Amino acid sequence: MTSCLGRRCWFPLSIHLCGHIQYNMFLELWQHQFKGKAIKPLKTLESTGKKQADNNGVSHYRQKKTHPEKSTMMSTMTKNSVDHPDDHEAKIARPTELALERVATLADIESRQPDSKEIWYGHSILTSTLFPATPPAEGTPFVSKDNNTVEYILEAGIDSLTRSRDYPYGKYPRLLMAWMAKQIRSAGARKTTTVDPAQHTITIPSMYQLSEELGIPRGGQSSKRLQEQLRRLLFCHISIRQKTGFAGNRDRFDSVNMQMVKAVSFLNDNNNQDFSGAKFILTDEVWDRLAQESAPFDTRATNYLLSGKSVLPYDVYVWLTGTFKNLRHDLTLDWDWLHGRFGDSIKERRVFRAKFRDALKKVHEVYPAANVETTRDGVILHPSPTSVPPKAERRALDEGRGDWQ
């Protein structure tokens, strides 16, 4: 599989357009954006590329008027949200804006390494595939994922507000867990406003601040869904089951049953939900896995991958960058294993294979160094660089802990 699909067209600042956005289409988008005015596309593109590079990426550039210091995970996705209403003209222009933003994002990823605010951390199960992409059918007793040696089993907890038993699902639990991993890894042994490593405590001062850092619109249905998914996440139960040995005809399995949190306190502001907050103590098992087993990823890439309706490209990206961190030899995985890991809501294997290949193509746009070969029987992972270079990760951790000189 090639690292970038389709034709390559080279522009100033080493900007290239991947196959699904071809040169003629790109010029048409620019003409539409400027309502037929005479423009010089190459010069305009170069100017735009410089602006976004100077402002630490597309997400920072688009939010410069309000909060330039905030890093976002989902600015592209939320522009297309029903919770972000605009006038009729803006709605017509939105596909154009999204296409331009995606082109600029790909150019930015190619032209520079991520800065410290753009490096978050993912766990191949705990921050991605453990959580269903869509709500499980009513009465589903549990969902599970395994990585060949360890099986994670997720059970819905009881929501303290609704008194119902519901699963966390979709993009929100993924982003919340990745945000926690970012706070934990950045703090190290140092106490911060959001993390107390000695007590394994995480504090969310306000939903306003959390929404800003996740790139989610404040207020409305987005804020309501975020709070709902946070409650579901904190009250769910996770079991870890591991096959540890065998003797004769008998296998031995060890299990650890755990909750996400030891204790949780919610502060609900009835006048303004944006000022509601939470404080919780993570269990030792969850804390240790986020602190020790998570791998760095580039939020510019995940922002791009979450711009569609499916979380599958995001899950594949987090899995690949974590796997490549320790991969020294080729790893062959068949379609049955891949379907078990990523195919929760896709029953037909034929449909899953097509969707997985599409997800891989999208991942290759933001992570061209990932050397993944698709075959009739599955995929072969060849040793590859991680999506975030080790030097960039070390610098981000040092900056987060105030040690960088």
Give DSSP secondary structure letters for 276-299. -EEEEEE-HHHHHHHHHS-EEEEH
The runs of H, that is alpha helices, within 55-170 are 58-62, 75-78, 88-111
Looking at 46, 78, 112, the residue that finishes a domain is 112
Task: For residues 292-318, give the mean pLDDT.
Answer: 93
Q: What is the pLDDT of residues 270-301, one digit of tens each?
A: 777 677 889 999 999 899 999 999 999 999 99
Q: What is the pLDDT of residues 69-82, one digit of tens each?
A: 344 454 434 444 43
Same domain, 50 and 103: yes
Same domain, 92 and 123: no
Looking at 69, 95, 112, the residue that finishes a domain is 112
Same domain, 235 and 330: yes
- Note the pLDDT of residue 252: 63
With b for 16 or more beta-carbon neighbours within 10 A and e for fewer, the 266-277 pattern comes to beeeeeebbebb
Same domain, 165 and 229: yes
Residue 111's identity, in one-letter code, is: S
Write phi, then psi, for 15 (nearest 5 degrees): -80, 130
Same domain, 88 and 143: no
Tell me whether strands 295-298 and 372-374 are parallel, antiparallel or unpaired: unpaired
Domain assignment present for residue 365? The answer is yes
Domain housing 72: 10-112
Domain assignment present for residue 405? The answer is no
Same domain, 189 and 50: no
Looking at 112, 144, 173, the residue that finishes a domain is 112
- In which band, very low, low, confident or very high, does the pLDDT at 197 lie, cut at 50, 70 and 90? very high
Average pLDDT in the chain: 77
Dihedral in degrees, nearest 10, Cα atoms 9, 11, 13, 15: -30
Same domain, 368 and 230: yes
From its phi and psi, is residue 163 left (phi > 0), alpha (psi between -120 and 50) or beta? left
Q: What is the pLDDT of residues 100-129, one digit of tens each?
A: 888 888 999 998 999 999 999 999 888 999
Same domain, 35 and 143: no
Return the number of other C-beta atoms located less than 10 Å from residue 56's C-beta. 21
**Which among 275, 274, 302, 377 is positioned nearest to 76, based on CA atoms?**
302
Domain assignment present for residue 3? The answer is no
Contact 372, 332 (CB under 8 A): no
Domain assignment present for residue 326? The answer is yes
Domain assignment present for residue 219? The answer is yes
Domain assignment present for residue 2? The answer is no
Residues 350, 142: Cα–Cα separation, whole Å: 25
Same domain, 70 and 171: no
What single string gives the DSSP state of each residue in 39-77? --HHHHHHHHHHHHHHTTSHHHHHTTTT-TT---S-HHH
pTM, 2 dp: 0.73
Same domain, 150 and 277: yes
Same domain, 266 and 384: yes
Give Cα separations from 141 to 90, 154, 155, 157, 286 (angstroms). 44, 9, 7, 11, 22
Same domain, 260 and 131: yes
Total domains in the fold of the chain? 2
Domain assignment present for residue 4? The answer is no
Residues 216, 355: Cα–Cα separation, whole Å: 26
Least confident window among 84-93, 99-108, 193-202, 359-368: 84-93
- In which band, very low, low, confident or very high, does the pLDDT at 243 lie, cut at 50, 70 and 90? low
Domain assignment present for residue 270? The answer is yes
